[in-house]
């Protein structure tokens, strides 16, 4: 990846959070609350574009 080393860590944290939210929503939370699982999936869908912006942000 390009940019600062801190950007890579932030990207990995954001994408890890995204995968965790999707996994929990689809395999655990949906058994108890479908609307909450849909909300978690919606939040997870917004994270990847933010992660890409953070990863590509260069401060020269």
Of 58 and 34, more confident: 34
pLDDT above 80: residue 58 = no
What count of Cα atoms within 13 Å lies in the side-chain half-sphere of residue 13?
8
Average pLDDT in the 31-38 region?
A: 96
The answer for residues whose C-beta is within 8 angstroms of residue 11's C-beta and 6 or more apart is: 1, 51, 52, 54, 55
Tell me the average pLDDT of the chain. Answer: 89
Give the pLDDT score at 15: 95
Average pLDDT in the 22-35 region?
A: 96
Confidence tier at 57 by pLDDT (50, 70, 90): confident
């Amino acid at each position: 990846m390009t940019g600062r080393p801190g950007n890579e860590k932030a990207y990995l944290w954001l994408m890890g959070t995204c995968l965790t939210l999707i996994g929990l929503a689809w395999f655990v939370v949906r058994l108890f609350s479908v609307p909450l699982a849909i909300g978690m999936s919606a939040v997870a869908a917004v994270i990847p574009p933010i992660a890409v912006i953070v990863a590509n942000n260069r401060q020269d």
